[in-house]
Amino acid sequence: MELNLSNKTALVTGSSDGIGLAVAKGLAAEGVRVLINGRNADKVEAACRQIGEQAVPAVGDVSSMEGVDAVLAVVREVGGVDILINNAGTGSNETIMEAPDDKWMDYWNLHVMAAVRLCRGVAPYMEERGAGVILNNASICAVQPLWYEPIYNVTKAALMMLSRTMATEFIPKNIRVNCVNPGLVQTPDWENTARELTKDSGGDWEGYLQGVADELAPIKRFCSPAELADFFVFLCSDRASYCVGASYYVDGGMKITI
């Protein structure tokens, strides 16, 4: 299937590993120049080496205004982008009663304000080019929360609503905005957590992850980052030109409501 993505430019936040890196690799395989973002310059450079000449480093912590400014400086250097994927994020672990305000604000800035600031920065370039695609990576937890991460649940729900509101505002500019809500994806974060939790009980981290999948996903397995990336790449393409303002679930049947 021809996706007509060659010679486009994309910015993928949080793309030095995990889902973001998989999406960046998927786009690069279609001929897209990809701006690789992360807070750690060494990890960004390592990711760029994996992808090759189509990768451009864009180091910056997008949860801060200064970090967003650093990333947008790279966007200016390359002449703008056709695609923005707001992927940077991480899980949380707290209770509402015990979580301090600072933690709430840190996640708000990472999951919501980063997307707001970057969209404001790249939309003019997309409008000049006549078209653009923005994808916001939220989570199934936006609608089906896990009890132990209320901050993650709330901020991802806000990102989902931001996506829908932004789609309405941006469609007259021919900029398509959609949201993706993944379920269980076997990222390095999940693997590291599993290793930590099983280190004193035999170290069967793979068995731990299988238990999580058995409990939460009817498909009984985790999604691979590459598998999820295929869906992102499709939504970036002309093949998805009528997809606007939607939230798509890639969750192996985890969502139990219609």
Which positions are catalytic? 152
Nearest one of 152, 67, 176 to 117, comparing CA atoms: 67
Nearest one of 56, 72, 165 to 118, comparing CA atoms: 72
Element (H, E) at 179: strand 175-182
196, burial (CB in 10 Å: exposed 0-12, middle 13-18, buried 19+): exposed
Return the exposure string of 244-258: e unless at least 16 CB atoms fall within 10 Å of the residue's CB, then b.
ebbbbbbbbebeeee
Residue 165 burial (CB count, 10 A): 12
Pairing label, strands 175-182, 247-250: parallel
3-state helix, strand and coil shares in percent for the chain, rounded to the nearest 5:
50, 15, 35
